[in-house]
Amino acid sequence: MISFDTDMIGPYGYCADISRSWVCGYQPMNATQRRLYATALDQISHNFDLLKPGLKFAEFNARSWRIPSKHQDYRYSLALHGVGMADEWPVVPLHVDWSDRVTSGQFEPGMVLCVESLIAEAGSESIKLETQVLITETGSERLDSFPWEDV
């Protein structure tokens, strides 16, 4: 597997921050790679589906996807973060890294966020996925259109 986390400054100085993972060469994913990729995509999908204006960060944390214990030692510490001219506020840690210091704040229309996942386990490769999201007046909208792999 190869993974890319872009973090690039794009048109008009705005940050584009997405991550994807692929198999090297012209071969399909093996069973472990498919399972890990599907797990990472579950995390992204679950957390994306929660996002809406008015949702408090603490409520998001309470309802967010729970990383299985076998993946926790290899996790990325953030569930999501803000993005604009660069990576910025808010920074919402993964549930296992949550602290009461983060409890203030809520998602507001116009916020642009990156929903994150890094999934691995002992002896495996890592799958890194990330998508950029706009909080709208009624929910959320995925901003990037680069496809996920079929697993």
Q: What is the pTM of this model?
A: 0.92
**Average pLDDT over every residue of 123-137:** 96
Burial class (CB in 10 A: 0-12, 13-18, 19+), 13: exposed
From 58-72, 95-109, 117-131, the region with the lowest mean pLDDT: 95-109
Q: How confident is the model at residue 103 (pLDDT cuts 50, 70, 90)?
A: low
Q: How confident is the model at residue 102 (pLDDT cuts 50, 70, 90)?
A: low
pLDDT > 90? residue 62: yes
Tell the CATH superfamily of the 2-23+53-142 domain.
Creatinase/methionine aminopeptidase superfamily (3.90.230.10)
Which of helix, strand or coil describes residue 144? coil
